[in-house]
Structure 1
Amino acid sequence: MNQLAALLMLASGAIHASVNAILKSGGDKMSSRALIDGFSALLVLPFACVVPFPQDAAVWLAGSMLTHLFYLLCLVKAFEAADMSAVYPVMRGSAPVIASAVAVILFGEPISWAVAGGIALVSLGTLAVAWWNAPGLKAIGWALATGAMTALYTVIDAKGVRAAPSAESYFVWFFLALGLCIALVFAVWRGPVFLLTARSQWKPGLIAGALSLVTYGLALFAYRLGDVPRLAALRESSILFGVGIAVFVLKEQVGKARLAGAALIAAGTGLLLALR
């Protein structure tokens, strides 16, 4: 079951990088995010009629909504401030360390020295990316804030999906509540700009919205099967896919330091995948 959870999380990481590449390549980032989450909510809406509301996980669901709101705000600001190849590794690589600390200290999740070593390699890779050719303090600040929010919602959703009657129940109501909330808040925030963005970017928004369901759906199912510290670090394999997309699709310049950091992250991911 742990290996299945690991494979689910690896696939989740790859798709997550694609979603963020679509967001980064768009025009107005906040409007694009409103489209993505709004479409996610519309896609799961029919299932709300057949999947029960996860009453036992309601507190975790509410906490996740609030955390994701701040997470997406920080994410948008980070992408507005710098290249994806510069900030994406920082925001994703800092998350597993924080998530592991919270999960172990506050919730008593198990962690071995081998898992800690894999997490350390992922984190060192992140530092390598952030230290050389840093995109600036403002961008780094938003990226680290995004990582902190990622860590927080990771632990909250892991507890929530385990408290829910089924992974499907938490999944549907999570995306329905989050999508409606984010779409409404960000669309109102941007006003007329959102309408202009929706007219030209609705197709990428729909694709990214569908992919968002897949990437976080895989993560939620994995959290019911395995331990949070290992799985949180494995999901950050998205950094590798993110750097690849930044280079080959977005045509960003990536130096040797960022490639070295990606190699460390790959080593840490390989170690975590090898563990049973």
Structure 2
Amino acid sequence: MTPAIVLTVLAAALLHAVWNAMIKGSGDKTVMLGLIALGHVVPGVAMAFLFPAPALEAVPYIIASTVIHWGYYYFLSAAYKFGDLSFVYPIARGTTPVMIAMGATIWADEYLSWQAWGGILIVSLGIITLVIKRSGFSGPALLAAVITSFTIAAYSIVDGIGIRLSGSPLGYIAWLFVAEFIVFAFVGLRFGTRMRALTRRIGLIGICGGVLSGAAYGLVLYAKMFAPLGIVSALRETSVVFAALIGVIWLHERPVFRRLFASVIVAFGIIVISL
């Protein structure tokens, strides 16, 4: 894996942590996720006019990913309803690198070296360290976060294969984002009164969060063109460390020492993967 790809995925991780903090810090998380989906649609429409459409072979993957993302938004919203950012986020993201690496071996014929597997496990260990013996444990938040992790692994594998079949990576990303209008439309129709009650400031924050989210996932999908899905996922999930630090600084969540300790473990795992 080249340094450029590593930096690309780490940039995506930071962007992802920021938009998740926006969701956790908002009042109405369900409506905010609808605005996040709209934030994907806006750049997606522009990109659809600029880049060739994906091949027909990739269309089923776009449909499957859209359905899975719907479930992802639902369970992520439920998890944040019951738990802190620094509790939910590590669980939702911490186990996915291993699941994606295993899934990629089965469905994408990707076989990683022992060193790569070691790095993935180290990163996951560092992420899980953030929630060991943590106060504020919530059973409903834990269940929703675990289900969220399965949806993340599912859409990551689907999109990793789909973008490689598309013949137009940027076109694939564009139509994937355009398809999320369905999510926004559902939230708007189902919770229209709550959406209209939002202030202009909160609405803009939600749409901007969606643009950040789209940029983050677009960078990850681009990286999957050049590196194994499991390795990209492991680097991508360093967003957990960024989210933990945001939780400490912005949302005043504690404790601080465990977050720093976990960051060191994750950083070591990144070095192992990069080598």
Q: In the aligned structure 2, how far is the partner of 1:272 from the partner of 1:188?
A: 45
Contact 1:97 1:123 in 2 (8 A): yes
| Percent of matched pairs sharing the same residue | 30
The code of the aligned residue for 2:15 comes to I
Amino acid aligned to 1:207? C
Does the aligned pair in 1 maintain the 2:116–2:231 contact within 8 Å? yes
Describe the superposition over 1:189-233 as per-residue Cα deviations: whole angstroms up to 9, x where unpaired: 323112212645112112212212211111111011111111110
Instruction: Tell me how far apart the structure 2 counterparts of residues 33 and 80 of structure 1 sit (CA, whole Å).
Output: 12
Aligned partner of 1:14 in structure 2 is: 14
Give 1:34's aligned amino acid. Answer: G
Residue of structure 1 equivalent to 2:195: 194
Pick which of 50-59 and 216-225 moved more: 50-59
Q: What is the CA–CA distance in structure 2 between the aligned matches of 1:141 and 1:198, rounded to whole Å? A: 32
Aligned to 1:161: 163
**TM-score scaled by structure 2?**
0.93
Corresponding residue of 1:217: 218
Residue-by-residue CA offset, 1:120-162 (whole Å, 9 max, x unaligned): 1122223322331162221111111111111111111111111
User: Which moved further from structure 2: 233-242 or 4-13?
Assistant: 4-13
Q: Report what 1:91 is aligned to.
A: 92
Q: Which residue of 1 aligns with 2:183?
A: 182
Q: Distance in 2 between matches of 1:5 and 1:166?
A: 19
Tell me the equivalent position of 1:130: 131
User: 210-219 or 38-47, which moves further after superposition?
Assistant: 38-47
Task: Say how many residue pairs are matched.
Answer: 273
| Gap runs ≥5 in structure 2 | none
Output the amino acid matched with 2:36.
I
Q: Distance in 2 between matches of 1:261 and 1:78?
A: 22
The unaligned stretches of length 5 or more in structure 1 are none
Runs of 4+ in 1 over 4 A off after TM superposition: none
Contact 1:15 1:211 in 2 (8 A): yes
- Work out whether residues 36 and 206 of structure 1, in 8 Å CA contact, stay in contact via their aligned partners in 2: yes
Deviation readout 1:21-61 (Å, 9 max, x if unpaired): 11111110010011111122023313323433312200111
| Counterpart AA for 2:42 | L
* CA shift digits 1:229-260 (9 cap, x unpaired): 11110001101110111111111122544443
Equivalent residue for 2:144? 142
- Tell whether the 8 Å contact from 2:108 to 2:161 is kept in structure 1 after alignment: no
